[in-house]
Amino acid sequence: MSHDPNCIFCKIVAGQIPAKKAYEDQDLLAFHDIHPWAPVHVLIIPKLHIATHAELGPEHAALAGKMMLLGPQLMRELGVTGGFRTVINTGPDGGQEVYHLHMHVMGGPRPWLKG
Ligand code: AMP
Ligand code: ZN
């Protein structure tokens, strides 16, 4: 399924739910987390509905590479200079709450709320 009408992040991609966007191209969207743990906390998602990191296959290699490259670029653009943390939660034991693949990228001066 490339789009899940019940998925909150697919709704953000479709513009049905507002988000504070940090980046967008044909493949990816990045937006600020609604409950940030750190002064800067963005989520990078593929526009394609992929439920979890465990469902990424070789056909997604270029997409996954783009996601990986976007984190540092966004941190630079958002003025993060002291380093950042990148997290992907996968499945129930991984603490995943939203089942649309997303990469958390968090930075800014500590202390942080979590992490
Ligand atoms: P995870 O536990 O990795 O699935 O994290 C899901 C993240 O999505 C949490 O950090 C939430 O705060 C964030 N989140 C959920 N709904 C929204 C939304 N509508 N806009 C921005 N961030 C959201
Ligand atoms: Zn989705």
pLDDT band at 115 (very low <50, low <70, confident <90, very high): confident
CATH class for the region spanning 8-107: alpha beta
Tens digits of per-residue pLDDT, 30-52? 999 999 999 999 999 999 999 99
Q: Rounded mean pLDDT of 44-65?
A: 98
Q: Rounded mean pLDDT of 12-26?
A: 98
Read off the pTM.
0.98
Q: Which atom of ligand 1 is nearest to the CA of 102?
A: 3
Distant-in-sequence, close-in-space partners of 18: CB < 8 Å, separation ≥ 6: 12
% of the chain beyond a pLDDT of 90: 97
Instruction: Pick the ligand that lies closest to the CA of residue 100.
Output: 2
Instruction: Pick the ligand that lies closest to the CA of residue 12.
Output: 1
* Closest to 101 (Cα-Cα) out of 60, 61, 46, 58: 46
Q: Which atom of ligand 1 is nearest to the CA of 19?
A: 20
Q: What is the pLDDT of residue 1?
A: 73
